[in-house]
């Protein structure tokens, strides 16, 4: 049952095949009633009116306002023209399209297609129907222009000569697809390069983008198919163009999922070409990257070779100043630095029979230490400072036993490079330097304990101050000739000579519980007087030693 029996403006007289327009026949109410009376008395020439869409009988009815109109009979089967959901403009467009099916050209094409289909191999005998077969389903009925069965498939041909409403196109497209029937639109005149609304609406219903028209240059059934063809240019640009080909029914392909028929699958070809285009782009990109990498490697090789040659030249000339080549090395990027260090191989113990640093220490003793100092200072050059000679001698002991001048400078550079003292180093240093070397060893011990080796120079700068904190840390006076527990002399010296750091020294004394001991031992109140004097003057406290003190004594909480 339909929801509402909507009025219709177009119909066919069964007896004569004449198409009438209700608005024209029933323009005047009086005239309309005359037609209605004659119709019901069977005195009018169109004894039965037929719906052009579904072929069902129509009645002439009147409205409460005495308007005469056409309407399906009661309990009619579903018909698209009586669909109450259509807008008025859509109904008008649809009726125009239906009316166009009665033109002479339309009829000519229908019969040509039908007659030419009959002898086609694969078309079932007696299955061809031209404008006389209704396909009736539960959701409606359609009368295609031409119908046939081909190799077990149902095919319908719909001929369109003028602009079509989208509602008209979709009603047929969706109906046939829903019921597993292949719809082939036959156009007569169209321009694939300047497509109108009709062509675009039909094209986008299918991803294949094929247009068909009857090939009237031959007598057998053939269609001219205009199809979109894509191709890649030599520059890997993806372009498309329209081609046409006369094809037989056997050359059509039928896709059951979408119930579409086509000759050339544009979307599949496009997808394949897009993949080829991507592959070619990737290949071109990889080729460009390869060339850029080769160029980069060549440029790096030239740059690194130039730097190495300059280092060799300066070394041979016993140069003192290596600043220019140092600046050049510092300007290298990470890739170039890696290439330089691979080329030099100074941190590779298997590269040289004698570790280069050991040889350079020997050279420094005879011709000067400037090349050795340059190498150690240039942080970008990777070095194995912890390695040992074949005899087991460490680099530290090699420097201590070989160099007299610049010895301390070179040792500190070793610590900056991450050198760690061994017990053998300590023993050898003590044996060589004796008691006079105790301060030097203590300075090296501080360097060895640093977490941040960039603070090595601060150890020398604040060595005595560090000994003060070391004494507090150990709980015995260290590095001063006051005696192990002479805390009064220790504190008097600290507050007198290091007043700018006293606040932190006092804090460390209090945290280590030496503060009470100090006051107990201060029988003559010498320290108390110095403390009162310091508090009275209240000198500004310096911050320049804070980093190295905190690095070595992080357990002291300095507020």
Identify the weakest region by mean pLDDT among 40-54, 395-409, 541-555. 40-54
Phi, psi angles (nearest 5°) of residue 135:
-95, 105
CATH number at residue 190: 3.40.1350
CA angle in degrees (0–180, nearest 5) for 525-528-530: 115
Give the pLDDT of residue 49: 82
pLDDT per position as a tens digit, 27-42: 655 555 555 565 555 5
Provide the percentage of residues in the chain whose pLDDT is more than 70: 89
Here the tokens at position 159 are 């001929």
Together in a domain, 160 and 42:
no
Domain with 518, as residue range(s), is: 462-559
Distance CA 5, CA 24 (A): 21
Task: Work out the pLDDT band at 171, boundaries 50, 70, 90.
Answer: confident
Question: Is there a domain that residue 387 lies in?
Answer: no
Together in a domain, 255 and 120:
yes
Phi, psi angles (nearest 5°) of residue 130:
-110, 105
Together in a domain, 189 and 64:
no
Q: Is the pLDDT of residue 554 over 90?
A: yes
Pairing state between β 153-160 and 182-187? parallel
Identify the weakest region by mean pLDDT among 59-73, 164-178, 373-387, 412-426. 59-73
Q: Are 11 and 51 in contact (CB under 8 A)?
A: yes
Distance CA 480, CA 52 (A): 121
Angle between helices 514-521 and 487-497 (to 10 degrees): 100
Distance CA 99, CA 214 (A): 21
Give the pLDDT of residue 195: 62
Together in a domain, 77 and 91:
no
Give the pLDDT of residue 339: 96
Give the pLDDT of residue 312: 96
Q: 363 vs 148, 315, 320, 345, CA distance in Å?
A: 103, 11, 14, 19
Q: Last residue of some domain: 52, 83, 114? A: 83
Question: Is there a domain that residue 164 lies in?
Answer: yes
To which H or E segment does residue 529 belong?
A: helix 526-537
Domains: count for the chain: 3
Together in a domain, 104 and 223:
yes
Question: Is there a domain that residue 247 lies in?
Answer: yes
Task: Work out the pLDDT band at 391, boundaries 50, 70, 90.
Answer: confident
Alpha helices in 436-486 (DSSP H): 438-449, 456-461, 463-474
Question: Is there a domain that residue 518 lies in?
Answer: yes
The closest of 258, 209, 200, 252 to 229, measured between CA atoms, is 209
Give the pLDDT of residue 5: 57
Distance CA 102, CA 162 (A): 12
Question: Is there a domain that residue 232 lies in?
Answer: yes
Distance CA 48, CA 59 (A): 8
Together in a domain, 180 and 96:
yes
Determine if the pTM surpasses 0.75: no
pLDDT per position as a tens digit, 198-253: 556 565 567 788 999 999 999 999 999 999 999 999 999 999 999 999 999 999 99
- In DSSP terms, which residues pair with 150 in a beta bridge? 123, 153
Cα 138 to chain center, whole Å?
50
Give the pLDDT of residue 30: 54
Q: Last residue of some domain: 233, 264, 295? A: 264
Task: Work out the pLDDT band at 352, boundaries 50, 70, 90.
Answer: confident
Q: 76 vs 58, 124, 139, CA distance in Å?
A: 10, 32, 12
Together in a domain, 204 and 69:
no
Here the tokens at position 7 are 């009025």
Q: Are 115 and 178 in contact (CB under 8 A)?
A: no
Task: Work out the pLDDT band at 1, boundaries 50, 70, 90.
Answer: very low
Question: Is there a domain that residue 408 lies in?
Answer: no
Distance CA 389, CA 362 (A): 13
Question: Is there a domain that residue 276 lies in?
Answer: no
Cα 328 to chain center, whole Å?
37
Give the pLDDT of residue 328: 97
Together in a domain, 178 and 71:
no
Distance CA 80, CA 100 (A): 17
Question: Is there a domain that residue 354 lies in?
Answer: no
Distance CA 280, CA 288 (A): 12
Q: Last residue of some domain: 264, 287, 308? A: 264
Together in a domain, 185 and 75:
no
Quick one: average pLDDT of 124-129? 96
Together in a domain, 6 and 124:
no
Together in a domain, 141 and 211:
yes
Together in a domain, 256 and 151:
yes
- Positive or negative, the CA dihedral 435, 437, 443, 448 is negative
Alpha helices in 204-355 (DSSP H): 266-316, 323-330, 334-344
- Positive or negative, the CA dihedral 250, 255, 261, 263 is negative
């Amino acid at each position: 049952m339909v929801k509402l029996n909507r009025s219709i403006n177009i119909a066919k007289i069964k007896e004569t095949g004449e198409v009438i327009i209700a608005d024209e026949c029933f323009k005047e109410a009086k005239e309309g009633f005359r037609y209605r009376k004659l119709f019901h008395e069977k005195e009018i020439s169109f004894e039965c009116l037929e719906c052009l869409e579904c072929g069902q009988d129509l009645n002439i009815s009147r409205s409460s306002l005495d308007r005469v109109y056409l309407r399906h009979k009661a309990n009619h089967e579903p018909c698209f023209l009586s669909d109450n959901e259509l807008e008025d403009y859509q109904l008008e467009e649809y009726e125009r399209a239906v009316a166009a099916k009665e033109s002479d050209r339309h009829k000519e094409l229908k019969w040509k297609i039908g007659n030419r289909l009959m002898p086609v191999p694969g078309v079932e005998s007696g299955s061809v129907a031209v404008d006389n077969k209704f396909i009736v389903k539960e959701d409606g009925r359609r009368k295609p222009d031409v119908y046939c069965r081909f190799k077990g498939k149902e095919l319908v041909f719909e001929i369109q000569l003028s602009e079509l409403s989208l509602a008209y196109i979709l009603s047929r497209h969706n109906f046939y697809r829903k019921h597993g029937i292949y719809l082939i639109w036959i156009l007569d005149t169209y321009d694939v390069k300047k497509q109108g609304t009709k062509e675009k609406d039909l094209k986008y219903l299918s991803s294949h983008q094929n247009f068909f028209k009857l090939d009237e240059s031959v007598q057998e059934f053939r269609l001219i198919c205009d199809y979109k063809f894509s191709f890649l240019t030599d520059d890997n640009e993806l372009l498309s163009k329209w081609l046409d080909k006369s094809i037989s029914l056997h050359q059509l392909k039928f896709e059951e999922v979408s119930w579409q028929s086509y000759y050339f699958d544009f979307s599949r070809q496009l997808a394949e070409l897009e993949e080829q285009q991507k592959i070619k782009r990737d290949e071109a990109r990889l080729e460009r990257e390869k060339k850029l990498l080769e160029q980069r490697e060549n440029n790096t090789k030239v740059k690194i070779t130039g730097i190495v040659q300059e280092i060799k030249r300066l070394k041979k000339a016993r140069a003192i100043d290596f600043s220019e080549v140092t600046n050049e090395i510092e300007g290298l990027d990470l890739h170039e630095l890696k290439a330089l260090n691979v080329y030099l191989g100074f941190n590779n113990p298997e590269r040289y029979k004698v570790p280069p640093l050991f040889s350079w220490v020997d050279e420094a003793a005879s011709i000067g230490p400037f090349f050795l100092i340059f190498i150690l200072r240039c942080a970008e050059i990777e070095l194995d400072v912890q390695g040992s000679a074949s005899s087991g001698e460490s680099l530290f002991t090699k420097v201590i036993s070989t160099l007299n001048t610049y010895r301390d400078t070179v040792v500190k550079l070793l610590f900056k490079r991450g050198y760690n003292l061994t017990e053998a180093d300590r023993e050898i240093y003590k044996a060589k330097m004796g008691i006079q070397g105790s301060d030097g060893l203590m300075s090296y011990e501080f360097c060895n304990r640093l977490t941040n080796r960039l603070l090595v120079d601060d150890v020398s700068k604040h060595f005595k101050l560090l000994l003060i904190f070391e004494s507090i840390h150990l709980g015995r006076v260290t590095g001063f000739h006051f005696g192990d527990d002479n805390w009064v002399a220790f504190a008097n010296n600290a507050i007198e000579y290091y007043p700018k750091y006293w606040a932190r020294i006092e804090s460390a004394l209090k945290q280590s519980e030496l503060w009470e001991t100090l006051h107990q031992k201060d029988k003559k109140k010498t320290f108390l007087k110095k403390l009162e004097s310091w508090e009275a003057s209240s000198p500004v406290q310096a911050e320049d030693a804070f980093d190295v003190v905190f690095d070595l004594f992080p357990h002291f909480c300095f507020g």
